Amino acid sequence: MSYLPYVITVVAPPSLLNQKVLDLIEPYYSLQDAQWLSQQEAIDIELPTTDLNDAKSIFKKMQTALRSQKVDIFLTPMLSRKKKLLIADMDSTIVQSETLDDLAAEVGIGEQIAAITKRAMNGELIFADALNERIALLKNVSADLLEKTWQHTKLNDGAQTLVATMRKHHAYTALISGGFTFFTQKVADKCGFHENHANQLSIQDNKLDGTVILPILGKEAKLFHLNRLTQTLNLTKNESMTIGDGANDLPMLTHAGLGIGYYPKPIVAEQLSNIIQYTSLRSALFIQGYKESEFVDELG
């Protein structure tokens, strides 16, 4: 058990953490124990307890009080609060969409492949089988469409700020995806991740040949990279943070010191207490106690 207090962080979309929200949570915190991380956006409430069960009880009561408000609420211990390792999923986490679905849309089978993706991310299909099935449907598609797809790919709000701010404060960052290296390399370069890992498309004569180069990177591989990096960097589990949305992210989310669901699928949401569902990736900084004044939008 930690001998430091627990802290609840409440985050709203910018300028929406107003007096109405504060009035709803006032029965559960003392103003003298609250600290603004960003005015009218994020506030820290230090709990007067070192007991996890007590902290969870207060957290649940506050969640219930705020249920009608579009705000995110997080519970973390003060111990090792600022993480030294960030591992992030890519599709629907760092970027807004599923890049494989977007590629399929370029050739007119987006809905067909998106339906398989949805089932896989909900944990209804074995990830490797679902990946092979989708890539087989893209056999003979021109590899030139990868670049065209990338041109339409957008980062989620706060992605670059999250990576740049953690790097500024000496955290190591990795992008680990069940998607493809063509996209992870570009996203990693744009955001500033130290390293990236994903699956590799097999391409022959500038066309996708309908297969994935083995081995397939799935949920076990994501957990492997979490364990590898904590060991390589000589970190404890508590010093790591992972963020993702789908079923293949669950092992790394549940084994990290802090696992955050980002607009997660139901199977993920039911297993995590810290979920971003109304705000941006900036919340992954607030949850660590960073003030907005400490944020940087890009690496210097």
pLDDT bucket at 298, cuts 50 / 70 / 90 = confident
- Which DSSP letter does residue 142 get? B
The domain boundary, picked from 44, 79, 114, lies at 79
**Residues 163, 230 within the same domain:** yes
Active-site option among 44, 72, 91, 249: 91
Tokens encoding 47: 């709990």
Residues 144 and 250 in one domain: yes
Same domain, 31 and 119: no
Which tokens sit at 81? 């609060």
For 196-251, what is each residue's pLDDT tens digit? 999 999 999 999 999 999 999 999 999 999 999 999 999 999 999 999 999 999 99
Phi, psi of 54 (to 5 degrees): -65, -45
Query: Do 243 and 124 have their domain in common?
Result: yes
In a domain, 287, yes or no: no
**Cα–Cα distance, 88 to 175 (Å, whole number):** 5
Q: Among the three residues 56, 79, 102, which one is the final residue of a domain in this structure?
A: 79
Within this chain, do residues 199 and 96 fall inside the same structural domain, yes or no?
Answer: yes
Q: Tell me whether residue 288 is in a domain.
A: no
Residue 271 is assigned to a structural domain of this protein: yes
**Inside any domain, residue 29:** yes
Same domain membership, residue 47 and residue 105: no
Shared-domain flag, residues 107 and 15: no
Same domain, 96 and 206: yes
Residue 179, exposed/middle/buried by CB under 10 A (0-12, 13-18, 19+)?
A: buried
The number of folded domains in the chain is 2
The verdict on whether 89 is a catalytic residue reads: yes
The residue segments making up the domain with residue 122 are 82-282+293-300
User: Across all residues in the chain, what is the average pLDDT?
Assistant: 94
User: DSSP state, 156?
Assistant: P
Q: Do 57 and 197 sit in the same domain of this protein?
A: no
Give the active site residue among 72, 89, 101, 102. 89
Q: What's the confidence (pLDDT) of residue 90?
A: 98
Q: Which residue has the higher pLDDT, 79 or 285?
A: 285
Domain boundary among 29, 59, 79: 79
**CATH number for position 31:** 3.30.70.330
Does the pLDDT at position 2 exceed 50? no
C-alpha 235/C-alpha 240 separation (Å) is 8
Is 91 among the residues known to form the active site?
yes
- Whether the per-residue pLDDT at 97 is higher than 80: the answer is yes
